[in-house]
Structure 1
């Protein structure tokens, strides 16, 4: 994989920020978009902008073909059995809320348990808190090891016959931990629970096959994998989606509407009320084409090497604390002694280097780490070792600056 050549396909990266060449290291928040995706969205709006599933005119047919064609690309991309199992949403957050609000509320009682981990993104914590509050179910947490990994023995202890839902992120957006979601799912299923996987940080970076994982639900976002914002996916096993009630109601998700009652369309459209995210789906389809051309196995291998190089270089800096396991996905979260991460990010920005600083929508994990915030550098297909070197040089300048200040 030639990251330098791939980088040329991302127009936004060919610019200077604060007088320096942009080094974008915040792809875990949102990735940049290749020309292929930008052109696909532009082509839709310029050439065949229309609503879908409604008109029989040419533009409507083209739009419908583009939208539903993207669904087929998603199905193949994650290895789903049927296109009916692919529901377009606004993103991972919406997808997880759909599972919690529909499946969770209808299938949980006060005698039941929901099991998650302390490393979850808020989007995979708050929906379950709300469902637990409404249903009376108990929300439980699988404990973490000292390096931020999960021990399956702890999963066995936490998941019981009372557990009805287990929901875990495949990759941590803070620690880079790659969780054994397949094995966790096996434990969940042995206890009669369903397995929900937050794939926001895994789907862009590694090959995902939902049938191999045997998860019951899988959620991810387009904007973290080179696609546009505002589009995401919920995969669900057909037998489960069939039994679930929609949580948004209106046009296009209905079969029949009477004065007093209505019936719903078949899957997946019963969950896609109103005008859908047409341009977003088409852009996501183009992003999938782009990633397939590179190869997800190649991306995962390259990012693992880049993360390893980053760990090695950052470890050279005195006063640096790095969080998470040695074997990780393509991100590094850290703090520098006596320097607030917001200050770190501000100084780096003056050097044209974009990193994330804050709690990363993971406040329970920050509490577990015993910090209020951290800085994070996250990598993607367009990042290089030179970007890591620039980060290291910027951090050395940061230390020197605050050393002079204090």
Structure 2
């Protein structure tokens, strides 16, 4: 049973005031707040288990290893990976994509093509640009229309034997647009042998993920956007590809044998997990998975969709307010500007004085802002603990900001 009051009680930070007002936290696309169960999981590791993993025969090392590997198995189930060793711990989506862009270097040569979309976060643009610079490959971009909808006929024209990588986000962090991943993957499989990479940073917190059904080659996401600590993330990859490609980092843990004459690499997943991992964070990510599953993906999705629909209705009642991507299929985000009311950050600062936390600016998606010829937007992004009353407060806050800035 979905009990919003109980869910909110699990987040200590929501009980405080900001600038003398009850905190209204609408910056969840940047990072979500953490429930007690996740905080306690992280604390328990450092209070009772703190030891390095996989390397020690002593009790604490063995127990820490068991807890971290249990978390890996929870994440395997969470995304429906075929094997737990297809789940690689990283520091987050950005590191996961950079790992891939480096590891796939040997698969790319001059004249090859990499396709991304106009809706990408900088972390799904810059690593591929760097790969192109290293190899002489060319970057191509799926265009979008004024509603933020990707124009997939581009793929019909540009997918070919030169296409080596197609990397797109599942959900736009700036606009909340849910991209037609299944269609993109289908077109890619039909017309090229490209590796398919999905940036799932904005989808993993909001609805069920099934990487086998999706049939992507790689799927990356961050823990801190799905109620887990910062500094931990996941790269999923298909076993056969992970065995083929080269590791990103070299060092301890990722070797089978090492001598001055050469090194052989460890088996999966450790081949890609050099150095001491964020053990406490990795264990807490498993606790975040438990938290999400205790509520249920369907309950989370239904609640957040209702919040989005209500927020859009309330905000569109405000004169001279424009929502970007309004007509596209979206989840969890309302991104808007106020005509004639200064820049987005001005409205954001006024809302902060009222205890309302939103994100302002280009959201690490400057190409999107350039398309709309704006410097940035005000972005309100939702999580399972947000309420309709908080949206009412947002709408009133926006009206006040508009009066003060016009």
Query: For this structure pair, what is the TM-score category when the shorter chain's length is used for normalisation?
Result: over 0.9
> In the comparison of the two structures, how many residue pairs are matched?
402
Contact kept, 8 Å, 2:142 with 2:152, in 1: the verdict is no
Unaligned 5+ runs, structure 1: none
How far 1:134 moved relative to its partner? 1.0
- 1:341 lines up with 2:338 in the alignment: no
How far 1:402 moved relative to its partner? 1.6
Q: How does 1:259-338 map to 2 (within 5 A)?
A: 259-326=260-327, 327-338=329-340
Deviation by residue 1:264-297 (Cα, 9 ceiling, x = unmatched): 1000001101111100101100000000011112
Give the TM-score taking structure 2 as reference length.
0.97
Contact kept, 8 Å, 2:163 with 2:194, in 1: the verdict is yes
Aligned residue in 2 for 1:162 = 162
Contact kept, 8 Å, 2:26 with 2:380, in 1: the verdict is yes
Cα RMSD (Å) of the superposition?
Answer: 0.9
Q: How does 1:146-295 map to 2 (within 5 A)?
A: 146-190=146-190, 191-295=192-296
How far 1:144 moved relative to its partner? 0.7
How far 1:321 moved relative to its partner? 1.0
Give the TM-score taking structure 1 as reference length.
0.97
Give structure 1 regions of 4+ aligned residues with deviation exceeding 3 angstroms: none
Contact kept, 8 Å, 1:221 with 1:233, in 2: the verdict is yes
Deviation by residue 1:204-256 (Cα, 9 ceiling, x = unmatched): 00111000110000000000000000000000000000011112111111111
Deviation by residue 1:142-200 (Cα, 9 ceiling, x = unmatched): 11122101233233223233211100000000111101112211111221111100000
- Cα distance, 1:37–1:76 mapped onto 2, change above 3 Å: same
- 1:28 lines up with 2:29 in the alignment: yes
Deviation by residue 1:315-344 (Cα, 9 ceiling, x = unmatched): 001110110143310110001112211001
How far 1:399 moved relative to its partner? 1.1
Q: How does 1:11-90 map to 2 (within 5 A)?
A: 11-90=12-91
Deviation by residue 1:42-98 (Cα, 9 ceiling, x = unmatched): 111111111100111111111001111110001000000001100000000000011
Aligned residue in 1 for 2:369 = 366
Aligned residue in 2 for 1:102 = 103
Aligned residue in 1 for 2:141 = 141
Deviation by residue 1:341-388 (Cα, 9 ceiling, x = unmatched): 100110000000000001100011110121111110000000011111
